[in-house]
């Protein structure tokens, strides 16, 4: 057990497993570090540095909790297969609305949020009567 309150060696092995690094040099290259900084962390075996965790989250989408403890999901994000269709379609619609409506709102000199609320379907629970837009059921 390290001074950080978890098994450093096991956490380091999870980092190697995740990155596929076979050496300190490879790990340093993958995380954008120097080999000497990796050696220093391993030699102290005190804690996985925050800079490593940030690099691992950004590059691999891995959960810092999983790195440190081996518990919980390994990844922070879900694969497309894990996302319910309704949630996926909602997100696609939200992004398309932003792509289409933001430039339109700018050209109309209208706040994007108001245009999105009136026309996008994102906030149909807040639909205002008489706006000329027919809400679509979210079922």
Structure tokens at 30: 């993958």
Neighbours of 3 (CB within 10 A): 10
Cβ-defined contacts of 34-42 (< 8 Å, 24+): 42/12
**Are 136 and 97 spatial neighbours (Cβ–Cβ below 8 Å)?**
no
- Specify the pTM: 0.53
| Nearest in space to 138 (alpha carbons), one of 92, 87, 83, 65 | 87
**Are 99 and 91 spatial neighbours (Cβ–Cβ below 8 Å)?**
no
Q: pLDDT tens digits, residue range 65-97?
A: 889 998 888 877 656 666 677 776 777 777 776
Q: pLDDT tens digits, residue range 8-53?
A: 999 999 999 989 999 999 999 999 889 999 999 999 877 888 888 8
């Amino acid at each position: 057990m390290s001074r950080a309150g978890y098994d450093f060696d096991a956490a380091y092995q999870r980092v190697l497993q995740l990155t596929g690094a076979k050496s300190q040099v490879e790990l340093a290259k993958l995380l954008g570090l120097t080999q000497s900084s990796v050696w220093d962390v391993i030699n102290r075996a005190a804690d996985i540095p925050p800079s490593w965790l940030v690099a691992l989250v950004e590059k691999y989408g891995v959960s810092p909790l999983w790195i440190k403890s081996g518990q919980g999901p390994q990844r922070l994000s879900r694969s497309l297969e894990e996302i319910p269709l309704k949630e996926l379609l909602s997100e696609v619609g939200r992004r398309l609305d932003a792509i289409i409506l933001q430039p339109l709102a700018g050209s109309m000199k209208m706040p994007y949020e108001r245009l999105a609320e009136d026309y996008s379907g994102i906030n149909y629970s807040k639909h205002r009567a008489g706006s000329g837009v027919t809400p679509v059921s979210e079922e």
